[in-house]
Structure 1
Amino acid sequence: MLVITSFFVASLLVCASPGVALVPGAAFSPPGDWQLRLAESRKEFEVFQLSFSSLIQTPYPRNNTVRADYYVLRSPGPRPAVVVLHAYKEEHSNLERKLCRMLVHRGINCLLLMLPYHFSRTPPGVRSGELFVTGDLEHTVESLRQAAADAVLAVSWLRQRREVDAERIGLVGVSLGAIVCHLVMGIDRRISAGVALLGGGDLGEILWDGIATIGVKQKLLALGISKEQASRKLAVVDPLTYAEENRPRRVLMINAARDTVVPTSCALKLWNALGRPPIVWLNTNHFGFAFAADRVFRVCAEYLASCFEGGLRSAKNPEVNVLPVKLGAVFGLGRTMNYALAAELAPLMRRSLNRSWVYAGAMLTGTGAYATLGITPSGDFDFGAALRLSGGPRKLTGYAMFTFVF
């Protein structure tokens, strides 16, 4: 009777809508075929390689085995644990491994989970992550279902470990991993805290307007599929669909105010749907996060440690200052047009979402180096005054620049 009741409860937890199960109910029990092998031994912690069968099987044998790196403290537990989910199309996971080491040093065990079709789960003949999002929307839905099921199963595995406190398990995701993080937190009530870096909701808009999926959008257009049709098809795996279930949980969002991969509007939609949880806005694009990874990860670790220790977060959100780096075409500095590499060194006035309005910066062009005082009226256009530092007479010149922000 207890087994039947447990299965019924698990089924209720995974229903997207009546009759539609997002992940198999078996994901709420530990995998039966897991294997663990020691890969690295350090003074404070060990790293094990974990593998188990995915509950959602695909035509690609390599993809059907879930793989993860388990960072576990040598000191006695039980301790909190976090499942870490990496970014889209990654071919190495150096940033996420840095986060795992930082969390371990804060007393938190970590499981770095490989998402479907990435790393060793990549089928022969394609690149890491290439098959996760495709022009076949049903396949993309299954990829996200599999990612969610694998993450839930990983949580189930952690909960039965002696060194893990089953009541203090969290999630951290980066980019695609953040989308999966939001999705899983909406269906698995066993997770007590999470941090989502560069994620968002409304998958149809992300697919349609994000620069990382331009090729997929073109394939859908060739098939006669509209943005609205894509959104409806992806709704079953969209974090927005499950946001109401995620609202009571502790979740920190960290997003890029100039994001062109997961559009800022998509982050705002999910933020509102989640009841406006704590959010940190980085004054950069999706890629600029890497320039401040240590500081961002420190905020992640502090937030999770605070949640696991039962502390209350300050009403004031943490701040992470990132220096935006820009590549673009500049007019007014010598020739008719120059290519330029520029950076905002110090914001002087800010506008909404922590974005710079007026800033002091530096610029390198084919005609020399400049110190700049710039204004950003829109995301991809700057104008201001530049003082030449090299390559000619020192003088102040006005300029305008069309930019791509990293």
Structure 2
Amino acid sequence: MKLSIEESGDLHLPKRLGVRAGKFARFAASSVDLLMCASINLLQSRHRLHARSREEMERYVTACETLTAEKFYAVPNGAEIAAVTGGRTGTAITWPSPINTNFPTNNLARADFFPCGRGWGAPTVLMLHALMSASHIGYRRYAARFNELGWNACFVHLPYHYSRVPRGYWNGELAVTADLIRNAEGLRQGVIELRQLMAILRERGCQKFGVLGTSYGGWIGALLAMVERDFRFVALMAPIVNVEHAIWESPAARFMRRELRRANIDPSLVARHFHLSSPMHNQPLCEAGRVLFVSGEFDLIARPKDVEEVHGKWRGSELLRVPQGHFGYRMLRDTIARLKERGL
């Protein structure tokens, strides 16, 4: 059944399902969310903290407390900028990451570039995938659609995903674990690399960008919007915006919480980093009217009330509600439809 979108101010709401159909949709979405959360927790159980984890976390947040987002996500002086060669569909842009991690495979940044017929001067959409994204095939399909609309597209391999997965680990397994320092540095790595990518595309003539981010990719996209302004749109689908809930309440972080408590890492210590890592505690540098938040009505991970709250704080942004849970394919389709209505 196709649900049309009704406009109400800056909210875009799907027509309500019947009571019985709505209950079934919620049950089905919640079941999928909980099943996926169980899988995530199972993988997280492979990652334990150690006796010095509390001490290391204290040192890290203390060092970060005086930093602004602009400084935290600044491209280091002398960092190598990506070099673009060729121009064929699916060209891989690779460059050394400015953030050196303990996993050499993760230290090579990559974006798959899909050019449209307008050349380098066309606007470019940065496609930021979800945590442990199942496949890049759907993103490639939507990259072709953006090409038809006159946009270049970049499918970005976020830290610890796709080409950057170390041997012996699952796609994205290392991006979010009880090791909160690695989590934060992964976010930092992702944002800085995107800024590098935008810089090289500017050198080639691109002046405007779009962001299409899902879940973890939406989190990174929101952080990017805090330090960059040249966006035609920033579409954040089921983004992680309430970091406190993501760590201390989310069903996807049950094992993480157990490890943090075992290591005596408490919420007040973690909160000292929110001025750098939490979209809820910040404002966009870009015009807020460019931002489209998209929430799943049945989402147990990026809760609708959290997405609505950050939408209210980022005054002028738009909110689209979609009847699905955290995991599903309808949201991307409806988001692109809304972007087309807005004229991209």
What residue in structure 1 maps to residue 263 of structure 2? 223
Change (3 A) 1:80 1:173: same
What residue in structure 1 maps to residue 319 of structure 2? 279
1:224 CA displacement: 2.4
> Hey, what's the Cα distance between the residues in 2 that align with 1:91 and 1:295?
20
> Hey, what's the Cα distance between the residues in 2 that align with 1:269 and 1:142?
26
More strand by share: 1
1:112 aligns to 2:149 (yes or no):
no
1:77 CA displacement: 5.7
Aligned sequence identity (%): 21
1:262 CA displacement: 1.3
Is the 1:80–1:108 contact (alpha carbons within 8 Å) kept by the matching residues of 2? yes
1:297 aligns to 2:297 (yes or no):
no
1:82 aligns to 2:82 (yes or no):
no
Is the 2:308–2:319 contact (alpha carbons within 8 Å) kept by the matching residues of 1? no
1:249 CA displacement: 5.0
1:271 CA displacement: 1.0
Is the 1:103–1:109 contact (alpha carbons within 8 Å) kept by the matching residues of 2? yes
Change (3 A) 1:31 1:194: farther
Amino acid at match of 1:34: A
Deviates more, 1:60-69 or 1:76-85: 76-85
After TM superposition, list the pairs within 5 Å mapping 1:48-63 onto structure 2.
Answer: 48-63=91-106
1:134 CA displacement: 1.6
1:159 aligns to 2:209 (yes or no):
no
Q: Deviations over 1:21-53 (max 9, x none)?
A: 2123448x9944535356xx5xxxx22111011
SS in 2 for 1:36: coil
1:269 CA displacement: 2.4
1:230 CA displacement: 2.8
After TM superposition, list the pairs within 5 Å mapping 1:5-404 onto structure 2.
Answer: 18-20=66-68, 21-26=71-76, 31-32=80-81, 34=83, 36=85, 46-76=89-119, 78-162=121-205, 164=206, 166=207, 168-243=208-283, 245-246=285-286, 248=288, 250-288=290-328, 290-291=329-330, 293-303=332-342, 306-307=343-344
> Hey, what's the Cα distance between the residues in 1 that align with 2:241 and 2:337?
25
> Hey, what's the Cα distance between the residues in 1 that align with 2:66 and 2:264?
29
Change (3 A) 1:293 1:184: closer
Q: Deviations over 1:108-134 (max 9, x none)?
A: 111111100001101111111111112
> Hey, what's the Cα distance between the residues in 2 that align with 1:153 and 1:229?
31
Change (3 A) 1:275 1:32: closer
1:67 CA displacement: 0.7
What residue in structure 2 maps to residue 391 of structure 1? none
> Hey, what's the Cα distance between the residues in 1 that align with 2:331 and 2:238?
13
Q: Give the TM-score, by structure 1 length.
A: 0.63
More helix by share: 2
> Hey, what's the Cα distance between the residues in 1 that align with 2:190 and 2:221?
10
Uncovered stretches (5+) of structure 1, i.e. residues with no partner: 1-15, 308-406
Amino acid at match of 1:23: Y
Amino acid at match of 1:131: L
Is the 2:165–2:171 contact (alpha carbons within 8 Å) kept by the matching residues of 1? yes
SS in 1 for 2:85: strand
Q: Give the TM-score, by structure 2 length.
A: 0.74
Q: Deviations over 1:337-357 (max 9, x none)?
A: xxxxxxxxxxxxxxxxxxxxx
What residue in structure 1 maps to residue 55 of structure 2? none
> Hey, what's the Cα distance between the residues in 2 that align with 1:51 and 1:127?
21
> Hey, what's the Cα distance between the residues in 1 that align with 2:287 and 2:274?
21
Q: Deviations over 1:346-399 (max 9, x none)?
A: xxxxxxxxxxxxxxxxxxxxxxxxxxxxxxxxxxxxxxxxxxxxxxxxxxxxxx
Uncovered stretches (5+) of structure 2, i.e. residues with no partner: 1-63
SS in 1 for 2:123: strand
> Hey, what's the Cα distance between the residues in 1 that align with 2:241 and 2:147?
30
Aligned residues: 279
Q: Cα RMSD (Å) of the superposition? A: 2.5
